[in-house]
Structure 1
C-alpha cells in the first residue's frame, strides 16, 4: 500500500518579509490618516474659537459705542454734582470734560450711560499686546469725581490687530486725508468733537501656529503677515445713536 505524504511546507522567509512590509505600509497609512484627521480637527476647532472671539469682542464694542453721548440726566441738569472733569491720571487726561476723551488708531475713550443705570460712565477700549481691554469709570455724584478703575477687564484675547476709523456727520473721514502711516493717528479736541460714526476693524488669530499651512495676507492698514496662524477679520461701522 502506497504511503501518502502531506505537504507541510510553511511560508518562506521572502513571503514573510513581504507580508510584514505590506502590514507596515498599511499601519503607517492608518497612523498618517489619524494624525492628519486629528490635526484637521484641532485647527478646525481653533478656527471656530477664533471666529467666536472676534464676534464677541465686536459685539461688546458695538453695544457700548451706540450709547456714546447718552449722558445721564442728573449728570447734566445744571446742579453742583454735574460732570465737569475727565478721568484724572490717564494718558488722555487734561482735566477737561469731553464726549470723546481719546481717539487714536487703536484706542477709543468716550462717555455714555452704557449699562442704562442712569449713571454716566467713561469707557475706554485699548489693545494691550494681544488682549483687548475695556476700562470703565463711573461718575460719583457724591464725590463729584470718577470712581477709580483699578485694572481694565479683558474682553478679547488673541486679538492680532485692531483699528478705529472715524467719520463726521457727512460720513467724511476724520481727518481728511488721514495721516500716513495711519498708526500716528491721534485726533485733536476739535476733531474728536465731530465724531459721529466709527468703523472698527478687528482681527483675531489662533492660539497655535500650524507651520505646515502658511497664510499670507494684509491687515486693514496694509501691513502684512506670513505665518501659520489662522485669522478672522471682522469689520463693523457703528453710528452713535446719541451723537
Structure 2
C-alpha cells in the first residue's frame, strides 16, 4: 500500500514578498509602456518630419517654377524687386491669367510664406493691402541656423566663384540666377541634424550668357 505525500509550504506569501512581486510587475509594465511610448513618439516624429520635408520640397519647386518666368511688372517695374537672405520678391504671371502678379517669398519665424498681389487700377499699382499670404512650408530653420534661404548669382556663374554668390545688398540688375536652400527640422531635440534641400534656377528673361 502506497502513501501519498503532499508537499506544500506551511505559510503563504509574506507581505514583503507580495510587495516585491508587485514592484517587479510594475517595473516590467512600466518598462514595456515606456518602450511603447518611445516607439510611438519615434513613429510620430518620422511621419511629421517626412511630411515637413515633402511640403518644403513642393515649396521649393514652386519657387523654381515661378522665379524662372519672372518678367517685367504690368506697371513696367523691373522683374526683381527685392533680393535678400530670407526674402525674394519678383513679378511674374504665375497663374497664367495674362496679369503679372507681384510674388513675395519670405520667412516668418520657421514658416516660409508666399504673398501674391494682383495689379489693380489705372495707372496700374500693386497695393500691399491686397496681398494674399499663404504658408508654403513649415519647420524651416534657416534663420535659427543663420543660413540664408536665397543666394543670388550673376551671369558669370559658375565660372566665377569669387564674386558669387553676390553679397548683400544685392544689385538687382546683376542677378541672373537664384539658389535656394531650405533647412528642415521638426524637432531639434529629437534630431539635431537638419535635412537640407538645395536647388538653383536661372531667370530666363534675364539670362545673358547664352
TM over 0.5: yes
Query: Aligned in 2, Cα 1:137/1:146: closer, same or farther, shift over 3 Å?
Result: farther
Question: Which segment is superposed worse, 117-126 or 23-32?
Answer: 23-32
Report what 2:149 is aligned to.
Answer: 163
How far has the Cα of 1:146 moved from its partner?
2.3
User: CA-atom RMSD, angstroms?
Assistant: 3.2
**What does 1:66-215 correspond to in 2, within 5 Å?**
66-69=68-71, 71=72, 75=74, 83-84=75-76, 97-140=77-120, 143-150=122-129, 151=131, 152-161=133-142, 162-171=148-157, 176=163, 185-188=168-171, 192-206=172-186, 208=187, 210=189, 213=190, 215=192
More strand by share: 1
Q: For residues 136 and 175 of structure 1, what CA distance do their matches in structure 2 show? A: 34
Report what 1:237 is aligned to.
Answer: 200
Please list every run of 5 or more consecutive structure 1 residues that lacks an aligned counterpart in the other structure: 76-82, 85-96, 218-230
Higher relative contact order (CA 8 A, sep 6+): 1
How far has the Cα of 1:60 moved from its partner?
1.7
User: For 1:122-178, what per-residue CA distance to the aligned partner results, in whole angstroms no more than 9, with x for missing partners?
Assistant: 2121222222222222234x5122242434333222222142111122215799266
How far has the Cα of 1:35 moved from its partner?
2.0
How many residues were matched structurally? 196
Please list every run of 5 or more consecutive structure 2 residues that lacks an aligned counterpart in the other structure: 143-147
How far has the Cα of 1:11 moved from its partner?
4.2
Q: For residues 131 and 6 of structure 1, what CA distance do their matches in structure 2 show? A: 76
Match of 2:51 among 39, 49, 52: 49
CA contact 1:105–1:186 (8 Å) conserved in 2: no
